[in-house]
Amino acid sequence: MSASYPEFVWQNGAIKPWAQATVHIMAHALHYGSSVFEGIRSYPTPDGQAIFRLTDHIKRLFQSAKIHDIQIPYTLEQLNAACREVIKANKLERAYLRPFAFRGLGGFGLSADTPTEVAVACWNMGAYLGADVLEKGIDACVSSWQRFAPNTIPAGAKAGGNYLSGQLVAREARRLGFGEGIALASTGLLSEGAGENLFLAFDGALHTTPVSAALLNGITRNTLITLAREAGIEVVERDLPREYLYLCDELFMCGTAAEITPIRSVDGKPVGDGKVGALTKQMQKLFFGLFDGSTPDRWGWLEPVG
Ligand code: PMP
For the stretch 281-297, pLDDT in tens is 999 999 999 999 999 99
For the stretch 194-227, pLDDT in tens is 999 999 999 999 999 999 999 999 999 999 999 9
How many whole angstroms from its chain centre is CA 261? 12
- The atom number, within ligand 1, closest to the CA of 192 reads 1
Confirm or reject: Cβ of 197 under 6 Å from ligand 1. yes
Distance 212 CA to ligand 1 centre (A): 15
Confirm or reject: Cβ of 216 under 6 Å from ligand 1. yes
Contact indicator for 110, 32 with CB cutoff of 8 Å: yes
Q: Is the ipTM of this complex over 0.90?
A: yes
Confirm or reject: Cβ of 192 under 6 Å from ligand 1. yes
- The atom number, within ligand 1, closest to the CA of 197 reads 10
Average pLDDT over residues 249-255: 98
- Whether 86 has a pLDDT exceeding 90, the answer reads yes
Q: Which of 260, 285, 266, 264 is nearest to 275 (CA)?
A: 264
Mind listing the domains of the chain with CATH numbers? 8-124 (3.30.470.10), 133-292 (3.20.10.10)
- The Cβ-side half-sphere exposure at 287, using a 13 Å CA radius, reads 24
- The atom number, within ligand 1, closest to the CA of 216 reads 1
CA pair distance 184, 149, nearest whole angstrom: 10
Confidence band of 107 (pLDDT split at 50, 70, 90): confident
Residues 6+ away with beta carbon under 8 Å from 89: 7, 8, 10, 15
CA pair distance 203, 40, nearest whole angstrom: 32
Nearest CA to ligand 1 atom 9: 196
Distance 252 CA to ligand 1 centre (A): 14
Give the mutation target among 196, 211, 224, 256 for probing the ligand 1 site: most ligand atoms within 8 A of CB.
196
Confirm or reject: Cβ of 6 under 6 Å from ligand 1. no
Average pLDDT over residues 94-114: 95
- The atom number, within ligand 1, closest to the CA of 38 reads 8
Residues 6+ away with beta carbon under 8 Å from 38: 57, 58, 60, 61, 97, 98, 99, 100, 158
For the stretch 170-199, pLDDT in tens is 999 999 999 999 999 999 999 999 999 999
Angstrom CA distances, 295 to 23, 177, 233, 245, 286, stand at 42, 36, 15, 29, 6
State residue 215's pLDDT score: 98
- Whether 90 has a pLDDT exceeding 70, the answer reads yes
CA angle 299, 90, 38 (to 5 degrees): 45
Q: Is 266 helix (H, G, I), strand (E, B) or coil?
A: strand
Average pLDDT over residues 231-260: 98
For the stretch 144-177, pLDDT in tens is 999 999 999 999 999 999 999 999 999 999 999 9
Catalytic residues: 158
CA pair distance 266, 246, nearest whole angstrom: 7
State residue 3's pLDDT score: 58
Distance 106 CA to ligand 1 centre (A): 30
Confirm or reject: Cβ of 35 under 6 Å from ligand 1. no
State residue 4's pLDDT score: 77
